[in-house]
Amino acid sequence: MKRVFSGVQPTGNIHIGNYIGAIKQFVELQETMDCFFCVVDLHSITLPQNPEELYKHTLDVAALYMAVGIDPKKATIFIQSHVPAHTELSWLLLCNSYMGELSRMTQFKDKSSGKDAVPTGLFAYPALMAADILLYDTHIVPVGSDQKQHLELTRDIAIRFNNRFGETFVVPDVKIKEVGAKIMALDEPTKKMSKSAENPLSRISLLDTPAQIKKSIMKSTTDSDNEIRYDVENKPGISNLLTIYSLFSGLTIPEIENKYKDSGYGTLKKDLVEVVTGSLSEIQDKFYKIRESEELKIILQEGAAKANTIANETLARAKKKLGF
Ligand code: ADP
Ligand code: NA
């Protein structure tokens, strides 16, 4: 069976971009593949986190995984820091990667630009991500399109290591959705929706209240021609709303365009509020039940045990090749 690995950082509330771009795919893949879904808490400290909140956010992501439909009987859910092999392999991979290739990562350039003190972890983070993936002999990595470059680097590192030291790692393939791989910020639809943007109206978090959802959508940036048509180039705001509408309702974009051919943006936005609020309220009901249950921590312990077994085997293989 093909192996799948992916992760989400526990940095504040997961937004609908994370959900549509990545997590929704996880739910489909668990049916036919051997899936490992990780809460990548070690990644989140590449930028300052509040120690009082980190573990809470970590449990939130794990509970959200389950609330959206990841079934711990079908997939392994675990916390990255519960599997020490991630940190250990990342060092071995860092010593087999180059300043030049890490410096070329656009996410590093974006996140470090304008800072006078750039944390080393922010620079090294793609090597940790490579370790995450390679430890599980992963075939497929479902992610949003912002992660494409990091995945290419993971492949380069794996191929290089295999060439230098002999066959060690499976070289993974990236899986990016055709629609929804990059949900844009609602206030500025030329930038991706992100957890870290300052304006809370720029995103819809999975745990937002109906009032917050309504405010973000109704205030979202569109254009002035009042024509509901999918055209990313010229109408990024409306196209983004149509994408969100489609992925939450199951209707295709042409079906939605047709439905609103005689309506204006106000109507589309109002209906989208209904669609999103309905879906998220279902997810939220499940989330709060799971988050408060004792079972969550047991599931994460079992997940970690399973992950540790596989990860330790791969780590041992890599260490042996290096001469340890
Ligand atoms: P963020 O980038 O929001 O901090 P993560 O780094 O934890 O979130 O990414 C988790 C997953 O969500 C990754 O697969 C990433 O590619 C995906 N993702 C992040 N932002 C978006 C977006 N705006 N649209 C689609 N997918 C996204
Ligand atoms: Na990201």
* CATH number of 244's domain: 1.10.240.10
Question: Which ligand is located closest to the Cα atom of residue 43?
Answer: 1
Verify that 40 and 58 share a domain, yes or no.
Answer: yes
Verify that 258 and 315 share a domain, yes or no.
Answer: no
Nearest CA to ligand 1 atom 14: 143
Say yes or no: CB of residue 140 within 6 Å of ligand 1: no
Question: Which ligand is located closest to the Cα atom of residue 144?
Answer: 1
- Could you tell me the CA-to-CA distances from 143 to 4, 151, 213, 239 in Å, in that order? 11, 9, 24, 21
How many separate domains does the chain show? 2
Verify that 160 and 301 share a domain, yes or no.
Answer: yes
Position 188 in a domain: no
Question: For residue 95, what are the domain limits?
Answer: 3-176+294-322
Position 39 in a domain: yes
Rounded to two decimals, the ipTM of the complex is: 0.95
Verify that 9 and 70 share a domain, yes or no.
Answer: yes
Token couple for 271: 């209906």
> Tens digits of per-residue pLDDT, 55-78?
999 999 999 999 999 999 999 999
Position 185 in a domain: no
Name the amino acid, one letter, at 272: L
CA of 320 from ligand 2 middle (Å) equals 32
> Tens digits of per-residue pLDDT, 113-153?
999 999 999 999 999 999 999 999 999 999 999 999 999 99
Cβ 140 vs Cβ 175: under 8 Å: yes
Verify that 52 and 108 share a domain, yes or no.
Answer: yes
> Tens digits of per-residue pLDDT, 233-256?
999 999 999 999 999 999 999 999
Position 252 in a domain: yes
Position 182 in a domain: no
Verify that 249 and 106 share a domain, yes or no.
Answer: no
Verify that 236 and 118 share a domain, yes or no.
Answer: no
Token couple for 267: 């109507």
Verify that 98 and 27 share a domain, yes or no.
Answer: yes
146 is in an annotated binding site: yes
Determine the atom of ligand 1 nearest the C-alpha atom of 15. 3
Verify that 154 and 23 share a domain, yes or no.
Answer: yes
Per-residue pLDDT, 216: 98
* pLDDT (mean) for 20-46: 96
Say yes or no: CB of residue 143 within 6 Å of ligand 1: yes
Position 191 in a domain: no
Per-residue pLDDT, 195: 86
Position 192 in a domain: no
CATH code of the domain covering residue 299: 3.40.50.620
| Long-range contact pairs involving 289-296 (C-beta distance under 8 Å, separation at least 24) | 290/63, 290/66, 290/67, 291/59, 291/60, 291/63, 296/59, 296/62, 296/63, 296/66
Verify that 30 and 71 share a domain, yes or no.
Answer: yes
Verify that 223 and 310 share a domain, yes or no.
Answer: no
Verify that 25 and 159 share a domain, yes or no.
Answer: yes
β-strands 140-142, 173-175 pairing: parallel
pTM of the model as a whole: 0.95
Position 102 in a domain: yes
β-strands 75-79, 173-175 pairing: unpaired
Sign of CA dihedral 49, 53, 55, 58: negative
